[in-house]
A and B are shown apart, each in its own frame.
Chain A
Amino acid sequence: MRMGRRLGLLLLAFAAAWGSPALAYDRAQIAAQACFGAAGLSEAAATLTAGAASATSEDAAWAATLTGALLDKTIRCGAGASTIESPSGSVDAATLAKAAPADGPAPVLSLKNRPLVETARAAATLFAGATAGERAAALRALERRAASLPPDLFETAAAREPDAGLKEQILGVGQSALLNSPDVAKRIAAIERIAAQPSRRAETQIAALKRDPAYGKEAAFAAAVDAGLTSIDRWLRVSSVANTLYNGLSFASILFMAAVGLAIIFGLMGVINLAQGEFIMLGAYVTYAVQEALRAVAPGLLEWYLILAIPVVFLVVAAVGVALEATLVRRLYTRPLMTLLATWAVSLLIVNLVRVGVGTQNLQFVTPSWLAGGKLLVGDFIVTWNRLFAIVFAGVTLVATWAVLKRTRLGLNIRAVTQNRAMAGCIGVPTRRVDMMAFGLGSGLAGLAGLALCPIYNVNPQMGSNFVIDSFMVVVLGGVGTLAGTVVAALGVGQINVLIEPLYGAVAAKVIVLLMIVGFLQWRPEGLYAVKGRRK
Chain B
Amino acid sequence: MMAPKRSLLARAADDRMVVAVALALAATAAVVVVGGLSGYRVNTIGQLACFALLALALDLIWGYAGILSLGHGLFFAVGGYVVGMHLLERSVAETGVTPDIVQFMGWKALPGWWGPLESFPVALAAAMGVSFAVAFVFGWASFRSRVSGVYFAIITQALVYVAMLLMFRNDTGFGGNNGMTGFQVVFGVPIQDPAVTKGLAVASVLALLAALVGCRLLMIGRFGRLLVATRDDEVRLRSLGYETLRLKLKVWCLSAVLAALAGLLYVPQVGIINPRVLSPELSIEIAVWCAIGGRGRLAGAIIGAVLVNAVKFALSASLPELWPFVLAALVIVVALIFPNGLLDLGKWKPTLLSRARALEPRDATP
In the complex, the answer to whether B335 meets A328 with C-beta atoms within 8 Å is yes
Q: What separation, in Å, do the CA atoms of A476 and B70 have in the docked complex?
A: 15
The smallest C-beta distance from B346 to any residue of chain A, in angstroms, reads 20
In the complex, the answer to whether B162 meets A522 with C-beta atoms within 8 Å is no
In the complex, the answer to whether A514 meets B159 with C-beta atoms within 8 Å is yes
Task: Scan B77-111; emit 1 where CB is below 8 A from any A CB, else 0.
Answer: 00000000000000000000000000000000000
> Which of B19-27, B44-52, B139-147 has 4 or more CB atoms under 8 Å from chain A?
B139-147
In the complex, the answer to whether A518 meets B155 with C-beta atoms within 8 Å is yes
Complex: chain A residue closest to B323, CB-CB: A352
Q: Does B118 contact A (CB under 8 A)?
A: no
B360 neighbours in A (Cβ, 8 Å) = 334-335
> Chain B contact residues: over half helix, strand or loop, or mixed?
helix
Of B158, B166, B168, B291, which contacts A341 at CB under 8 A?
A: B291
The smallest C-beta distance from B8 to any residue of chain A, in angstroms, reads 31
B366 neighbours in A (Cβ, 8 Å) = 270, 336, 536
Q: What separation, in Å, do the CA atoms of A506 and B366 have in the docked complex?
A: 33
The smallest C-beta distance from A504 to any residue of chain B, in angstroms, reads 11
Most buried by A among B68, B327, B332: B332
B138 neighbours in A (Cβ, 8 Å) = 518
In the complex, the answer to whether A346 meets B169 with C-beta atoms within 8 Å is no
Task: Scan A500-536; emit 1 where CB is below 8 A from any B CB, else 0.
Answer: 0000011100110010011101100100000000001
Q: What separation, in Å, do the CA atoms of A351 and B323 have in the docked complex?
A: 13
CB-CB under 8 A for A335 and B331, given A525-B146, A525-B147: no
Q: Does A137 contact B (CB under 8 A)?
A: no
In the complex, the answer to whether A356 meets B235 with C-beta atoms within 8 Å is no
Q: Does A53 contact B (CB under 8 A)?
A: no
8 Å CB interface, A344-359 against B:
344-346, 348-349, 351-352, 356
Most buried by A among B149, B150, B321: B150
8 Å CB interface, B150-196 against A:
150-151, 153-155, 157-159, 161-162, 165-166, 168-169
Q: What separation, in Å, do the CA atoms of A105 and B102 have in the docked complex?
A: 75
Complex: chain B residue closest to A356, CB-CB: B321
Complex: chain A residue closest to B366, CB-CB: A536
The smallest C-beta distance from B9 to any residue of chain A, in angstroms, reads 32
In the complex, the answer to whether B335 meets A349 with C-beta atoms within 8 Å is no
Most buried by A among B162, B325, B336, B339: B162
Of B145, B155, B291, which contacts A338 at CB under 8 A?
A: B291
In the complex, the answer to whether A514 meets B158 with C-beta atoms within 8 Å is yes
8 Å CB interface, B324-366 against A:
324-325, 327-332, 335-336, 339, 360, 362-363, 365-366
Most buried by A among B146, B324, B330, B365: B324
Q: Does A136 contact B (CB under 8 A)?
A: no
In the complex, the answer to whether A510 meets B150 with C-beta atoms within 8 Å is no
Of B62, B146, B147, B149, which contacts A336 at CB under 8 A?
A: B149
Q: Does A331 contact B (CB under 8 A)?
A: yes
Q: What separation, in Å, do the CA atoms of A270 and B361 have in the docked complex?
A: 17
In the complex, the answer to whether B151 meets A328 with C-beta atoms within 8 Å is no
B324 neighbours in A (Cβ, 8 Å) = 348-349, 351-352
> Which of B124-132, B257-265, B280-288 has 4 or more CB atoms under 8 Å from chain A?
B280-288
A521 neighbours in B (Cβ, 8 Å) = 141-142, 145, 147, 155
In the complex, the answer to whether A341 meets B162 with C-beta atoms within 8 Å is no
A525 neighbours in B (Cβ, 8 Å) = 145-147
In the complex, the answer to whether A507 meets B68 with C-beta atoms within 8 Å is no
B365 neighbours in A (Cβ, 8 Å) = 536
Q: What separation, in Å, do the CA atoms of A301 and B153 have in the docked complex?
A: 45
Q: What separation, in Å, do the CA atoms of A511 and B158 have in the docked complex?
A: 9
Q: What separation, in Å, do the CA atoms of A514 and B156 have in the docked complex?
A: 10
8 Å CB interface, A309-357 against B:
328, 331-332, 334-342, 344-346, 348-349, 351-352, 356
Complex: chain B residue closest to A523, CB-CB: B145
Q: Does A271 contact B (CB under 8 A)?
A: yes
CB-CB under 8 A for A337 and B288, given A342-B332, A345-B331, A507-B166: no
In the complex, the answer to whether A518 meets B162 with C-beta atoms within 8 Å is no
B284 neighbours in A (Cβ, 8 Å) = 274, 341, 344
Q: Does A154 contact B (CB under 8 A)?
A: no
CB-CB under 8 A for A266 and B150, given A340-B68, A341-B284: yes
Complex: chain A residue closest to B361, CB-CB: A335
Complex: chain A residue closest to B288, CB-CB: A341
Q: What separation, in Å, do the CA atoms of A465 and B321 have in the docked complex?
A: 19
In the complex, the answer to whether B158 meets A342 with C-beta atoms within 8 Å is no
Of A331, A340, A344, A511, which contacts B162 at CB under 8 A?
A: A511
Of A334, A335, A345, A514, which contacts B327 at CB under 8 A?
A: A345
The smallest C-beta distance from A374 to any residue of chain B, in angstroms, reads 30
Q: What separation, in Å, do the CA atoms of A346 and B336 have in the docked complex?
A: 13
Q: Which B residues contact A (CB, under 8 angstroms)?
A: 62, 68, 70, 138, 141-142, 144-147, 149-151, 153-155, 157-159, 161-162, 165-166, 168-169, 235, 280, 284, 287-288, 291, 321, 324-325, 327-332, 335-336, 339, 360, 362-363, 365-366
A-B pairs with beta carbons under 8 Å apart, 20 shown:
A271-B150, A272-B153, A328-B335, A332-B335, A336-B366, A337-B363, A340-B150, A341-B335, A344-B284, A348-B328, A349-B324, A349-B329, A352-B324, A352-B325, A356-B321, A472-B158, A510-B162, A514-B155, A521-B141, A525-B146
Closest 4 pairs between A and B when the two form their complex, measured CB to CB: A345-B331, A345-B328, A342-B335, A525-B145
Q: Which A residues contact B (CB, under 8 angstroms)?
A: 266, 270-272, 274, 328, 331-332, 334-342, 344-346, 348-349, 351-352, 356, 465, 469, 472-473, 475-476, 505-507, 510-511, 514, 517-519, 521-522, 525, 536
- For the complex with contacts A272-B153, A475-B154, 15 further pairs of A-B residues with Cβ separation under 8 Å are A328-B335, A336-B363, A337-B363, A340-B150, A342-B336, A346-B328, A351-B324, A352-B328, A469-B157, A505-B169, A517-B155, A517-B158, A521-B155, A522-B141, A536-B366
